[in-house]
Chain A
Amino acid sequence: MKGKSLISINDYSKEEQLRILELASEFEKNPVQPLLNNSVVATLFFEPSTRTRLSFESAVCRLGGKVIGFSDSSSSSVKKGESLKDTIITVSNYSDLIVMRNPVEGSARFASEVSKVPVINAGDGANQHPTQTLLDLYTIKQTQNTLDNLNVAFVGDLKYGRTVHSLVIALCNFNCTFHLVSPMELKLPSAVKFHIKEKKLTYHQYTDMNDVLPFVDILYMTRIQRERFSDPLEYEKVKNLYNLNKNMLSHTKENMKVLHPMPRVNEIDTDVDDTPKAHYFQQALNGVYVRQALITSILGIK
């Protein structure tokens, strides 16, 4: 994978994805390794992010590398009207690897075509966020010891949530059964269901979360975002539809784990946090290991 940009989850084959997960588990056991002594990683965040940017930077720091970059476009030349192309060419002269988040869809693919160094997409608008998908896969494997033949439920905004779309597509490689819980107006798009059907796998759709709790292995919760609704009344109707609390966990399977790409608002009650089923903070931590694995394999160190 040396020199290979990661823009879309499909840029990496199933084998390459599994190789990253395997490497990530090595970093989980031993996260501080001085492998990047002379390397510079640029993190270009054209819109704010907490977990993604900090976990990338943490990954680089724990590997002994240096980070340059900016955390929102107002502190960059973009404010002066510089094109993305010029910014990327310039920064690729200063660094060995570029990590970019940009609200414009397709910007990451374009950046990888003009950059002299590999690019990792840390989110391009509603399009792709492949490192989230890899860390989700890693987390599922960590909790279930396998990725194969699982019953995975996705709850909340399945229409606009890009993390859901990419993870569903990635899990299609592992013979999973999908349980899709959402309000009618936020169902999984047919373009994503197409991937499930193409692999001859099964999905079921629900509006009530309680219907899936007794039998799923993974409960992947998502936030319903206010900004997706043009009519504020529509948002009010659905915003409190899915609130997971501690009592609801009593009838779930022993191995069941709750995941969430975070940030959460009120879809998971804080009383869930201390139960053994809560795994979303560990999930966010796994982002560091997975990104360490990615960075070292793209730079040809591992």
Chain B
Amino acid sequence: MVKELKVSALEHGTVIDHIPSKSVFQVIRILNLENYPNQILFGINLESKKFGTKGIIKVHNRFFKKEEINKIALVAPTATLIIIKDFQIIEKTAVQIPNHIEGIVKCFNPNCITNFEKVTTKFTLVPGDEIKLRCHYCEKTTSKNNMVFI
């Protein structure tokens, strides 16, 4: 039986698969795809053997740099990145949370300068099992539960 694709196949570009459905729009925003002039296809609440449901984004004619794509790991740690050329899978990788994160997350400390002035937030990832970000400015940590995305 031929597998039916709910979101049509991509000829040339990048597929971001296994995104938690609720994070699809966030991923679009983080990657600044809202202003992308080419074709983008996306699906939400699709069936997934691994996760029950999932979201997927297919971006025509666009290839991302590692540090660019890794930004989405905070909202979509399960995401897989697939590079397609001429309908062929060229590379399949899992996203990884980068050690330095700029401008995606708000600092949880209400008394941090980044919540008073127009300052791009900067964090380093705190080593450990839990996702925790240490603010470059106020040096306080923001844990995953408290993360608000800009």
Q: Please give the residue numbers on chain A whose beta carbons come within 8 Å of chain B beta carbons, in ascending order.
A: 8, 83-85, 103-107, 109-110, 124-128, 191
Contacts and interface: CB of A to CB of B under 8 A. Distances in A.
Nearest to A109: B137
Contacts of A84: 113, 116-117
B113 A110 contact: yes
Contacts of B72: none
Contact of B139 (A83, A106, A107, A110): A106
B124 interface: no
Interface of B: 107, 109, 111-114, 116-119, 135-141
Contacts of B107: 106
Nearest to B121: A106
Contacts of A85: 117-118
Ordered nearest first, which 7 A-B pairs have the shortest CB separation? A106-B137, A106-B138, A105-B138, A106-B113, A107-B113, A110-B113, A109-B137
A105 B137 contact: yes
Nearest to A128: B139
Contact of A110 (B137, B140, B141): B137
A155 B3 CA distance: 69
A85 B116 CA distance: 11
A155 to B, nearest CB: 25
A126 B119 contact: no
Contacts of A107: 113, 116, 137
A85 B107 CA distance: 19
A191 to B, nearest CB: 8
Contact of A105 (B112, B117, B118, B141): B112
A126 B140 CA distance: 10
Contact of B117 (A103, A110, A127): A110
A9 B137 CA distance: 14
B139 A104 contact: no
A105 B115 CA distance: 10
Contacts of A104: 111-113, 116
Contacts of B116: 84, 104, 107
Contacts of B112: 104-106
9 contacts: A84-B113, A85-B118, A104-B111, A105-B113, A106-B112, A106-B114, A106-B135, A109-B136, A110-B113
